[in-house]
Amino acid sequence: GKDNNNKNSIQFYSQSLQDASLHIIELEKELRDAIKYHQFELYLQPIVNLEQNSIYKAEALIRWNHPEKGLISPIQFIPEAEKSELINAIGHWVIKSACELVKQLNKHGYNIKISINLSPSQVIEENLFSFIHNCIKEYNIEPDLLEFEVTEGVLVNDYAIAEKLLSKIRAIGMSVSVDDFGTGYSSLAYLKRLPLDFVKIDQSFVKDIVVDDNDKAIVRAVIAMAHNLNLGVTAEGVETVEQLKFLKNNACNSVQGYLYSRPINFESFLKLIKEFY
Ligand code: C2E
Ligand code: MG
Ligand code: MG
Ligand code: MG
């Protein structure tokens, strides 16, 4: 408030700013070490195809096994990493590791697609496509077992670059989904013109879908629109049987959420799919 505008509070403010930038520098160093010392791990969360009742896909979600602080969630370090070129190094690690997991799944007899989150700055990274292409060749995996998730913002802000990248991705058989759909700024014109395969309805619309008529209307409209544009629809954050029922009744194609499973490590994921089949 106005009353705090005295010398003490200004001093306090600049002190905390200094703390914050110190913290960021430390975090950057720690993130570099995290790659070097193999502290990152990809968890997998199943995505269930409602037509076939099968786990046909899984989203790769990064976790940081910090030597002192334990398991750290991506929301605590990905936004920070996105402020520097560190996100590209982490992103490369994620892509390589996802290819490795596809390969491991193949060895166990499963053809399950893995979906990889791309940060906006990765989309505009110059050699991203060749990096992905090289990984596919190195691990000798089928391109149709990889998918990339991008958010609406990048489709609008860097339309031309995004269009080029996504076209190349789809040209060799990989797929593309729009993540957190409905929370960013996008126009329907972009959805129509861009090379896409799936729309992932953000969990904020799914949360109250059983009780909130507005959310019901929004989700129905998104599903109808996506289908008219020949896109599949995945609902995120499905936690209850009632939510699942609504989504099934409204022709949603696939679901992801705690109802089926939280994101889990590879070993647990293998166990889960063995039980599911
Ligand atoms: P996202 O891509 O939208 O991923 C879905 C998030 O929703 C995950 O959080 C997942 O654990 C959570 N979730 C799934 N089902 C449910 C549910 O039923 N209820 C609730 N409440 N939550 C559910 P997580 O793993 O903490 O990841 C958060 C975000 O961090 C991701 O959101 C994504 O934006 C980012 N992220 C995670 N891994 C990566 C990565 O490898 N690269 C990049 N660039 N971003 C990543
Ligand atoms: Mg995602
Ligand atoms: Mg999402
Ligand atoms: Mg999200």
pLDDT, one tens digit per residue, over 170-221 is 999 999 999 999 898 777 778 888 999 999 999 999 999 999 999 999 999 9
- 111 pLDDT higher than 70: yes
- 70 pLDDT higher than 80: yes
Tokens representing 204 are 């904020």
Ligand nearest to the CA of 118: 1
Q: Is residue 139 within 8 Å of residue 99, measured between CB atoms?
A: yes
For the segment 135-163, what is each residue's pLDDT rounded down to a tens digit? 999 999 999 999 999 999 888 889 999 99
How much is the pTM? 0.93
* Mean pLDDT over each residue of the chain, to the nearest integer: 92
Task: Give the Cβ contact number of residue 202 at 10 Å.
Answer: 21
Q: Is residue 178 within 8 Å of residue 147, measured between CB atoms?
A: no
Per-residue pLDDT, 45 = 98
Q: Could you tell which of 48, 71, 76, 78 is best to mutate to test the pocket of ligand 1, judged by most ligand atoms within 8 Å of the CB?
A: 78
Measure the CA–CA gap between 113 and 58, rounded to whole angstroms: 6
Give ion ligand 3 contacts, CB < 5 A: 179-180, 236
Distance 76 CA to ligand 4 centre (A): 13
Q: Could you tell which of 39, 61, 64 is best to mutate to test the pocket of ligand 1, judged by most ligand atoms within 8 Å of the CB?
A: 61
- H helix or E strand, kind and range, residue 92: helix 86-107
For the segment 1-33, what is each residue's pLDDT rounded down to a tens digit? 334 444 455 555 555 656 666 677 788 889 999
Per-residue pLDDT, 191 = 84
Whether ligand 1 lies within 6 angstroms of the CB of 195 is answered as: no
User: Rounded mean pLDDT of 114-134?
Assistant: 97
Nearest CA to ligand 1 atom 12: 237
Per-residue pLDDT, 24 = 75
Measure the CA–CA gap between 270 and 248, rounded to whole angstroms: 26
Question: Chain-centre distance of CA 15, in angstroms?
Answer: 35
Greatest Cα-to-Cα distance within the chain, rounded to the nearest angstrom = 67
Measure the CA–CA gap between 154 and 158, rounded to whole angstroms: 5
Q: Per-residue DSSP letters for 244-268?
A: HHHHHHTT--EE-STTT---B-HHH
User: Rounded mean pLDDT of 55-65?
Assistant: 98
Whether ligand 1 lies within 6 angstroms of the CB of 73 is answered as: yes
- 250 pLDDT higher than 90: yes
Name every residue whose Cβ is closer than 8 Å to that of residue 17 and which is 6 or more positions away in sequence: none
Which residue carries 């958010």 as its tokens?
A: 151
Tokens representing 169 are 């991705």
Name every residue whose Cβ is closer than 8 Å to that of residue 134 and which is 6 or more positions away in sequence: none
User: Rounded mean pLDDT of 229-246?
Assistant: 97
Per-residue pLDDT, 7 = 47
Nearest-CA neighbor of 114 among 181, 65, 178, 43?
43
Distance 61 CA to ligand 1 centre (A): 6
Packing angle between helix 128-139 and helix 159-171, nearest 10 degrees? 20
Q: Which of 88-92, 118-122, 151-155, 212-216 has the lowest mean pLDDT?
A: 151-155
Ligand nearest to the CA of 180: 3
Beta bridge partners of 219: none
Q: Is residue 105 within 8 Å of residue 112, measured between CB atoms?
A: yes
Distance 70 CA to ligand 2 centre (A): 23
Beta bridge partners of 149: 117, 177
Per-residue pLDDT, 104 = 98
Which residue carries 């013109």 as its tokens?
A: 193
Measure the CA–CA gap between 265 and 101, rounded to whole angstroms: 11
Question: Chain-centre distance of CA 162, in angstroms?
Answer: 16
Per-residue pLDDT, 12 = 53
Instruction: Kindly provide the ipTM of the predicted complex, given to two decimals.
Output: 0.98
Distances (CA, A) of 170 to 5, 30, 252, 274: 55, 35, 23, 30
